[in-house]
Amino acid sequence: MPIINDIPAFHAFLTTNPNSRILALCGAGLSAASGLPTFRGAGGLWRNHDATRLATPEAFRADPGLVWLFYAYRRHMALEAKPNPAHHALAALARQRRKFLCLTQNVDNLSQRAGHPPSQLRTLHGNLFTLKCFNRRCSHVEHNNTADPLVPSLAPASVTTPADATRPLPLVDADVPLVHIPASELPRCPQCASLLRPGVVWFGEQLDGALLGEIYEWLDEGPISVIFVVGTGAQVWPAAGYVQEAAARGARVCVVNTEVAEETLGPEDFGFVGDAAVLLPRLLEPVIGSTKDDGTFE
């Protein structure tokens, strides 16, 4: 039986391994307390929508306006959101423990905004605020573009009136008619005039090879004491594979999620059921200290 919701047991484990290597694999649930929806499950972005119509190169080729509307909305939501105590706790852990590496599948930039040291953060699926040229022969990339709206035709995705505040993403709300945005009104590459695309990794696309190489180098540097699996369904590859990779290097798995499938955990593993924004600061308290009113740690 895994160890479920036993914070003192986890604290004892953490403090008896002060110099060990720690890995985290994070997903959309990490940002749920910041008000950003997850992908799958109740309230998920893809609940009423076929993900392959929005997050594949084929979808972009077929209707770049529809895909851009989806990402323009996500950019707007992420810009309005603030990092939550879970992002801050992981950033504080990184500052305290140089041997901690955080792999995030999230593209919302919230870990970066929480001050997570860049050398200890790997963004597996890219970033909403990176723009890339869709033309494979062109190498144009722009980082940290936070313009909102990006172009006038994407302005509808940025509208957040009080009446809209509780509305789901227009694309998944069947009552909101979809507007067709012609390609001529979408963001264009300054180098070759092809369409720009969001700098995220879509289904069927390879993750950045250099980034994967760096992660394997880190994995192979030695044993790992624990892998935190935070707010992710761990269903998407290759990200999900890092849980097994860490376990194969000795790591105990520590799942922090509103839903924990106990049967997937080993007898030495930990499961904590609840909001990552509440649990992570408590779980990490022996290393990062207790939370102060301003959200930092002492």
- Known binding-site positions for Zn(2+): 133, 138, 189, 192
Binding site for ligand BJW (CB under 6 A): 27-29, 32-33, 38-41, 44, 55, 105, 107, 125, 200-206, 231-233, 235-238, 257-259, 275-276
**Rounded (5°) CA angle 235-236-242:** 90
Binding marks (x or -) toward Zn ion, 93..132, rule CB under 5 A?
----------------------------------------
Closer CB to ligand BJW, 44 or 168, in the complex: 44
Q: Which of 99, 140, 167, 188 binds Zn ion (CB under 5 A)?
A: 140
Q: Which stretch binds Zn ion (CB under 5 A): 11-19, 72-80, 139-147, 247-255?
A: 139-147
Task: Give residues with Cβ within 8 angstroms of 155, minimum separation 6.
Answer: 149
Cα 151 to Cα 1, 63, 182, 185, distances in angstroms? 54, 17, 12, 8
205 makes contact, choosing from Zn ion, ligand BJW, none, with CB < 5 to 8 Å by partner type, with ligand BJW
Binding marks (x or -) toward Zn ion, 163..182, rule CB under 5 A?
--------------------
Where does residue 122 fall: left (phi above 0), alpha (psi -120 to 50 degrees), or beta otherwise?
A: beta
Parallel, antiparallel or unpaired: strands 270-273 and 252-257: parallel
Closer CB to ligand BJW, 190 or 204, in the complex: 204
Q: Which stretch binds Zn ion (CB under 5 A): 122-130, 155-163, 167-175, 192-200?
A: 192-200
Distance CA 205, CA 199 (A): 12
What's the token pair of residue 6? 């036993």
Q: Which of 51, 66, 138, 212 binds Zn ion (CB under 5 A)?
A: 138
Question: Whose CA is closest to 74, among 182, 152, 146?
Answer: 146
Q: Which of 76, 88, 116, 125 is catalytic?
A: 125
139 part of the interface to Zn ion, by CB under 5 A: no
Active site residue 125: yes
What's the token pair of residue 55? 């997050």
Residue 54 CB neighbour total at 10 angstroms: 23
Distance CA 264, CA 44 (A): 23
Please identify every residue annotated as catalytic: 125
- Residues in the site for Zn ion, rule: CB under 5 A? 133, 135, 138, 140, 189, 191-192, 194
